[in-house]
Each structure stands twice: as C-alpha cells, then as structure tokens.
Amino acid sequence: MNEAQQPLSEQEIARIREALRDVYDPEIGISVVDLGMVRKIEEVDGEVQITMILTVPFCPLARVILEEARRAAQAVTERPVKVVMGTECWDPSMMSNEAHQRLGSGF
C-alpha cells in the first residue's frame, strides 16, 4: 500500500488545518478556520477532501475562497486536494472565541 492510500493521520490533518488558517474571508478579514467554515478534513478515495461552508448563501467570492483553501492545503500535503461545499448553514456560534472577540458582541 503506498502512502497516498494510507488514511490521513492526525498530524497531517493538523498541518492542513493550520495551513487553512492563512485563508481569509476577504469581506470579514478572519480565517476560514476561525469562522468555522471548515467543517471536515478527511481522506476520500486517496484524496484529501475538505468540506467547507460559506458565511452567506451565494457568496460572490465563493470560488476564490474555495480555490485558496485548496491551494493552501495542497502546499502541505502530497495527496490531491478537493474542496467541496457542505450543506449546513453557517451560524456565528461556529466561530472561534478569537473571532468572536475580534468581531465584538454583534456576533
């Protein structure tokens, strides 16, 4: 079994998640990780599959954000990376404490 067929390790998932901290929602200026937009990182058929959601439906920058996430993850893994849209609705409760503090009590 070659390395691409091995399940993702916790360390590899952590590296990918850390790389995604450099991807920001351009309208809010907070990382997609801190906003809670990254819902799942898993191995599917030998690929890294990242499931993400958007803070608003029909975000005009969705394609840009998803491609930046794919590139960031690809930079820290040798596996192919695919970013897919999840079906759940984003909610401010998904944000990290740091994001809540940065945005204030309005969220």
For residue 20, what is the domain's CATH number?
Answer: 3.30.300.130
Q: Which domain holds residue 62?
A: 3-88
Tell me, yes or no, if the pTM score tops 0.85: yes
Q: To which H or E segment does residue 39 belong?
A: strand 38-44
Does residue 103 lie in a domain region? Answer: no
Does residue 45 lie in a domain region? Answer: yes
Q: Is residue 49 within 8 Å of 66, Cβ to Cβ? A: no
Reported as a single tens digit per residue, the pLDDT across 11-54 is 999 999 999 999 999 989 999 999 999 999 999 999 999 999 99
- Domain count of the fold of the chain: 1
Helix (H, G, I), strand (E, B) or coil at 36: coil
Does residue 60 lie in a domain region? Answer: yes
Helix (H, G, I), strand (E, B) or coil at 18: helix
Does residue 43 lie in a domain region? Answer: yes
Reported as a single tens digit per residue, the pLDDT across 62-93 is 999 999 999 999 999 999 999 999 999 999 99
Does residue 106 lie in a domain region? Answer: no
